[in-house]
């Protein structure tokens, strides 16, 4: 082992207990410190067993609404038969010795969380080494277990402590100042939805947030996600698509069709390309497809196909964030995500909460697609928040919820009265509709009419 690592480890092992003492002492003296600590720390985050016992006792007392001081803590430990095992009353009195005035307990909590994460990583590495040298182990299983464990450690170590307004205010002002100097002709201050009216209402899709897009089968859920990805990747925003049903090749064809303006039918059935003029300005037949494919091939888009667990989504997202600084992830679709829960509603709730947390940790926006159940009478009604929840869609965790609606006539054919219903919008207008047209040639949504302001806002190109 590297000598520098040994020295750093020894220093960390000496620092951690003293930091833990300061936290426990602050909790004895200040009720606010109790709140701050319990928001982020688990008993296992403490390096010494005596500290784990003391912290666990104080946390239980706080949950029961009991006051915490020397006498009440002593009584609680005696009642549990643990006072002597933690060092007796003398050790409890020692907890508050040398605590700095105006102790910033949040900083101490971060130190303890960091030390705890490093210990867990070291333990995981030891276990992985033992398993990797065993002839009975499968590499894929070891890797899967390591990925899941890394995800658990990462999620726990990144839990934020409570922030005061004094900490929040500078971040808010900085963000507002950056947005205030945006070019006056820019519609959105986030990632574009490709639809100008929707961008005006939402100001775009924001980082650290999750949007849910629900619709019935064949209503174009994947289409809207891919056109958002294509438009943002075109200007250099990295995107990851977790596709549970579409193949990597299908995703590439659809995005290329949307961007180029070449009807999707030519990608679906290349035999139609023969002897047919596509676009004069970009060439004919195969030259057009080859040129557009080369352009889209340079877009920063990554596709992960097949059914996958929430642990894998977390691990791959964090890897792509670290390597390529992606800004958007797409989950197509949430009902297919694998979690530990067996019940469908609990599974989707768990996946939604994990995805929402993931956006915060990675500074990304998550586009989550959700399938709506057809009503019993098989009548296609406009989507609502109620129908989204009845279909077990993850509406509660989302900042933006949009329902895609393509009504049918009595013969089951689309009427062409397509709309996007804004069902939820935490920071803007909601319960409103956007008139759109689903372009069946390019398999994408386009504005029904251009907005009133002076801008064409064309999406896609033919060159």
Q: Give me the pLDDT at residue 130, please.
A: 92
Per-residue pLDDT tens digits for 205-240: 999 999 999 998 889 999 999 999 999 999 999 999
Q: Give me the pLDDT at residue 24, please.
A: 93
Q: Give me the pLDDT at residue 157, please.
A: 66
CA distance 59 to 256: 55
- CB atoms closer than 10 angstroms to residue 67: 10
Q: Give me the pLDDT at residue 285, please.
A: 62
CA distance 29 to 103: 11
Contact 214, 370 (CB under 8 A): yes
CA distance 351 to 360: 15
What does the angle CA 59 – CA 61 – CA 64 come to, to the nearest 5 degrees? Answer: 110
Domains and CATH numbers, the chain: 3-157 (1.10.860.10), 184-447 (3.40.50.300)
For the beta sheet containing 328-332, the strands, ordered from the edge strand earlier in sequence to the opposite edge, are: 301-305, 239-243, 328-332, 365-371, 209-215, 400-405, 419-425, 432-439, 444-447
For 66-98, give the DSSP string: ---SHHHHHHHHHHTT-TGGGTHHHHHHHTTTT
CA distance 91 to 41: 21
Residue 358 φ/ψ, nearest 5 degrees: -60, -40
One digit per residue, the tens of pLDDT, for the chain of length 463 reads: 443 344 344 434 445 678 899 999 999 988 888 888 888 888 999 999 999 999 999 999 988 888 999 899 999 999 999 999 999 888 998 888 877 777 778 888 888 988 998 999 999 999 999 999 988 888 888 888 887 787 777 767 665 555 666 666 777 777 667 666 654 445 557 899 999 999 988 888 999 999 999 998 889 999 999 999 999 999 999 999 999 888 899 999 999 999 988 889 888 887 777 655 544 444 446 778 888 899 999 999 999 988 888 888 888 898 899 889 999 999 988 888 888 777 888 888 888 888 998 999 899 999 999 988 876 666 788 888 888 877 776 888 899 999 999 988 878 788 888 999 999 998 777 888 999 999 999 999 999 865 454 444 444 443 3
Q: Name residues whose C-beta falls within 8 Å of residue 229's C-beta, 6 or more positions apart in sequence.
A: 239, 241, 255, 301, 328, 330, 367
User: How many alpha carbons fall within 13 Å on the CB side of residue 432?
Assistant: 11
Outline where DSSP puts E strands in 299-374: 301-305, 328-332, 365-371
Sign, CA dihedral 286-457-450-371, equals positive
Q: Give me the pLDDT at residue 45, please.
A: 92
CA distance 72 to 69: 5
Q: Give me the pLDDT at residue 424, please.
A: 92
CA distance 47 to 45: 6
CA torsion angle for 140, 304, 366, 389 (degrees, to 10)?
-80
Pairing of strands 301-305, 239-243: parallel
């Amino acid at each position: 082992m590297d000598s520098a690592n040994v020295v750093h480890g020894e220093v960390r092992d000496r620092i951690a207990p003293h930091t833990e003492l300061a936290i426990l002492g602050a909790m004895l003296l200040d009720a606010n410190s109790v709140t701050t600590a319990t928001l982020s720390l688990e008993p296992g985050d403490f390096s010494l067993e005596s500290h784990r016992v003391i912290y666990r006792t104080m946390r239980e007392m706080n949950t029961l609404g009991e006051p915490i001081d020397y006498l009440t803590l002593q009584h609680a430990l005696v009642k549990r038969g643990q006072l002597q095992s933690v060092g007796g009353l003398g050790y409890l009195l020692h907890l508050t010795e040398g605590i700095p005035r105006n102790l910033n307990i949040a900083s101490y909590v971060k130190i303890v969380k960091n030390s705890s994460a490093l210990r867990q990583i070291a333990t995981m590495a030891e276990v992985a080494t033992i398993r990797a040298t065993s002839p009975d182990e499968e590499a894929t299983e070891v890797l899967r277990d390591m990925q899941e464990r890394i995800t658990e450690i990462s999620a726990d170590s990144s839990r934020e402590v409570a922030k005061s307004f004094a900490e929040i205010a500078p971040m808010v002002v900085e963000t507002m100042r950056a947005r205030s100097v945006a070019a006056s002709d820019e519609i959105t201050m986030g990632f574009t939805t490709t639809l100008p009216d929707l961008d005006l209402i939402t100001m775009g899709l924001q980082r650290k947030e999750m949007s849910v897009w629900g619709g019935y089968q064949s209503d174009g859920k994947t289409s809207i996600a891919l056109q958002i990805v294509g438009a943002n990747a075109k200007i250099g925003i990295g995107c990851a698509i977790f596709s549970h049903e579409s193949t990597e090749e299908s995703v590439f064809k659809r995005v290329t069709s949307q961007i180029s303006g070449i009807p999707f039918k030519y990608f679906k059935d290349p035999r139609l390309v023969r002897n047919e003029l596509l676009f004069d300005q970009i060439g004919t037949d195969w030259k057009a497809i080859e040129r557009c494919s080369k352009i889209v091939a340079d877009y920063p888009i990554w596709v992960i196909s097949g059914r996958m667990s929430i642990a894998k989504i977390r691990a791959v997202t964090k890897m792509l964030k670290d390597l390529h600084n992606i800004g958007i992830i797409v989950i197509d679709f949430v009902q297919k995500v694998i979690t530990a829960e067996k019940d469908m509603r609990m599974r989707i709730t768990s996946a939604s909460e994990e995805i929402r947390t993931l956006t915060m940790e990675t500074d990304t926006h998550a586009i989550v697609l959700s399938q709506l159940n057809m009503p019993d009478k098989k009548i296609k009604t406009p989507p609502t928040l109620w129908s989204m929840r009845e279909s077990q869609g993850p509406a509660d965790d989302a900042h933006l919820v949009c329902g895609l609606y393509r009504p049918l006539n009595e013969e089951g054919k689309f009427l062409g009265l397509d709309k996007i219903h804004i069902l939820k919008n935490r920071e803007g207008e909601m319960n409103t509709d956007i008139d759109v047209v689903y372009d069946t040639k390019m398999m994408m949504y386009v504005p029904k009419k251009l907005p009133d302001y002076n801008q064409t806002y064309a999406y896609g190109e033919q060159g």
